[in-house]
Amino acid sequence: MKKLLFVFGTRPEAIKMAPLIHACATRKDLFDVKVCLTGQHREMLQQVMAFFEIEADYNIDLMRPNQTLYDITANALKGIEGVLNETQPDLVLVQGDTTTAFAGALSAFYKRVKVAHIEAGLRSHNKYAPYPEEANRKMAAVLTDLHFAPTPAAAENLLNEGIKENVFVTGNTVIDALLWGVKKVRDDKKYAESFGYLDVEKKIILVTGHRRENFGQPFENICNALAELSDKYPAVQIVYPVHLNPNVQEVVNRKLSGRENIFLVAPLEYPNLIWLMDKCYFVITDSGGIQEEAPSLGKPVLVMREVTERMEGVEAGTAMLVGTDTDKIITEATRLLEDEIAYRQMSQAVNPYGTGNTAQEIVSLLSKHV
């Protein structure tokens, strides 16, 4: 029996790890599964843990007010070191591009423990966009032994960097999590009741925005676009769960508060977010995972970034890069609201990120390579 240690610390990591943790835990003949949280996020992380019924064996709890990337990295390294000393795993599994993922891979490397990287190979080819995620995932890749790439393009990125062994195309576990989650919330009345201020018979635009590289003038531009769309389409409802970061809060509240058809709400728990994603007409976002999730529900995505590491969606037609240019955002949102043919082309495009069987595929690979 092989000892597996899952290391993660943010809500997106927890969402994408959840299906794989459950899939591995059911194979008690193969794996002894332990879960280590770094606590890079806290409240938002616990919500997902509860929803997917995951319990942590270790919690480093490194979240502190006003902490820097230096703090997160150093404290995660030291905390994970202690967990590795106690568990002596055969394999450490990290996910994605967070500072936790990089610190987990580096900690395992220092102990000469093998590393598996879930969602390996994503690249924007600009180390400052997204920041610090692009650097995190590239550094983690150098330390990784088993690379589970979500798409052929992601695998090709690794090959181009000289990583030629143990690269596997598996799809993305986020689709497993989404389909599992939507099945749980779609017909649950409590979620509809929590959005009682919305008329689900009318068009809803879901907005998420929080990227560091968009702080400042880019967020001003984004909010200007949303304000103009609000004026132009009073019957369209815009729901924006506003990130707690003051750099986001200040601009969004100053620019968008008080508008009847814009709903600025607190960050949503994962089940509420996917319920809303299921009901919305399309999504405007600078987030990563939503670019993969929304198309599985037939929702077009306008991506408020200049570059994305998820070009597969853009190439497949499920997503479109609009950057943070006010006019571009307005133009493409208008097109989706008014042009039914253009909307159908995006909403019916095939999602390139998988069909929901990624966790089982990875379990099969782990059974052969750990």
Known catalytic residue at 212: yes
CA distance 53 to 48: 8
Residue 260 neighbours by CB distance under 10 Å: 8
| Residue of 27, 212, 259, 335 marked catalytic | 212
Among the listed residues 44, 57, 45, the one whose alpha carbon sits nearest the alpha carbon of residue 83: 57
Out of 97, 278, 292, 293, which one is annotated catalytic?
Answer: 97
Q: Determine whether 11 is an active site residue.
A: no
119 a catalytic residue: yes
Helix axes of 43-51 and 270-279: crossing angle, nearest 10 degrees: 70
**What percent of the residues of the chain are helix, what percent strand, and what percent coil, each to the nearest 5?**
50, 15, 35
Per the residue annotation, which of 133, 278, 286, 312 is the catalytic one?
A: 133
Report CA Rg, the chain. 20
129-133 — which CB contacts under 8 Å span 24+ positions? Answer: 129/213, 129/305, 129/306, 129/307, 130/97, 130/211, 130/212, 130/213, 130/288, 130/305, 130/309, 131/212, 131/213, 132/69, 132/99, 133/96, 133/97, 133/98, 133/288
Which token pair is 243?
């990130």
Candidate list 11, 41, 117, 210, residue with the active-site label: 210
Q: 181 Cβ partners below 8 Å, 6+ apart?
A: 51, 52, 270, 271, 274
Annotated active-site residue 125? The verdict is no
Q: Which positions ≥6 away from 177 have C-beta within 8 Å?
A: 15, 16, 18, 19, 52
Catalytic residue among 27, 42, 243, 335: 243
Our answer to whether residue 53 is catalytic in this structure is no
| Token duo for residue 295 | 């198309």
Catalytic residue, chosen from 11, 22, 119, 293, is 119
Give the active site residues: 97, 119, 133, 210, 212, 243
